[in-house]
Chain A
Amino acid sequence: MHIPDGYLSPSTCLTLGAVMLPVWYRASAVVKKSLDVARIPFMAMGAVFAFLIMMFNVPIPDGTTAHAVGSVLIAIVLGPWAAVVAVSVALFIQALVFGDGGMLAFGVNAFNMAVIMPFTGYYMYRLAAGRAAGGSLRAVVAAGIGGYVGLNLAALAAAIEFGIQPLLFTAADGTPLYCPYGLSVAIPAMMTAHLLVAGFVEAAVTALVVKYVWKTAPEVAAPNGNEK
């Protein structure tokens, strides 16, 4: 899901990059205000976890690969704004050092995996968990559902960003300048990979690790995963 440079027009990258600036600013303000000192190291650990889990590529039947991200897990434990910061930092190092995701496309990748994913996954979790106590079976299952939904909506966003390129940007002779595939190819390809395979990996990772954190460090996880 890490969009490389060249697949999106510079204008697409700049637009979503511009959207990210106030989001990062707000995330910092919320983190500064609400994250208590005891949970700070866990924010760094969350960023490291997201980086590592993204290295586990899983095979997709069509011959491509996909991976889990970990954003929803961080959002449930530390709050969605903390997830914005932690996952953005992981994506930044991936682009800068390992060329995984473009530098110009960094804002777009952050928008998909560090904003859409943690927020949609977190609110899906809240909806599914209801008033269930953190660590209860219902909350653990809800965390899995949140992970599944969050990853798939991030994948859908990436598919749309890929798919609108040939509609908007073509060379004089009509050949696409950037991503050559339109929505009718990009959406099925991205969604098959994530709905059928990677989404379940994300669900399992989110549910298991959230359960682990609730069990080993209950004081770290937000009570019922709420607030913050």
Chain B
Amino acid sequence: MIRRCWILLIVLALLTPLGMLAEGTAWGEWGADDLTAVVGYVPQGIEQADSWWKAVFPDYSLKFIGEGEAAGKIGYLLSAGIGAGLIYLLMTVYTRLVVGRRTLPVPEKKG
């Protein structure tokens, strides 16, 4: 049964490029450029915050793959895998630290 739940997650990860089909940005998540277009100016706080934290792969895009639609989709798919792996790892470390060193059942495979 744990295997079937992993299959569900892997299928979900493979389908993530479908999540890019919707055009536009979520409300309140505009970048500085979008804001200039929408409100006509960039509030000071947003302008200052724009540069303080640089994510490794901003907006789930992997710049080293290149530009364009196909690269964007591949980058999104790889981001799904990278993020899933990191989260699984962090959760495993967390549960080992918090719940203790009890023997954990090892899942067969991970996505």
Contact = CB atoms under 8 A, between A and B. Distances in A.
Interface in B1-53: 1-2, 4-6, 8-9, 12-13, 15-16, 18-29, 35, 39, 41, 43-50, 52-53
A93 B84 CA distance: 9
A182 interface: no
A43 B60 CA distance: 24
Choose among B27, B47, B49, B58 the residue with the greatest number of A CB atoms under 10 Å from its CB.
B27
Given A48-B87, A52-B9, A100-B59, A89 B94 contact: yes
Interface of B: 1-2, 4-6, 8-9, 12-13, 15-16, 18-29, 35, 39, 41, 43-50, 52-60, 76, 79-80, 82-84, 86-88, 90-92, 94-95, 98-100, 102-105, 107, 111
Interface string A179-198: 11100001001100100000
Interface stretch (A31-39, A127-135, A145-153): A31-39
Choose among A49, A52, A180, A213 the residue with the greatest number of B CB atoms under 10 Å from its CB.
A52
A60 B28 CA distance: 14
Choose among A45, A59, A85 the residue with the greatest number of B CB atoms under 10 Å from its CB.
A45
Contacts of A102: 49, 53
A98 B95 CA distance: 24
Contacts of A179: 28, 43
A97 B111 contact: no
A157 to B, nearest CB: 12
Contacts of B12: 49, 52-53
B9 A193 contact: no
Interface stretch (A15-23, A63-71, A117-125, A136-144): A63-71
A222 interface: no
Nearest to A40: B95
9 contacts: A32-B98, A42-B2, A48-B87, A55-B76, A97-B86, A98-B60, A104-B52, A180-B35, A217-B4
Given A64-B24, A94-B83, A179-B43, A40 B18 contact: no
Interface in A62-121: 62-67, 85-86, 89-90, 92-100, 102-104
B1 A216 contact: yes
A3 interface: yes
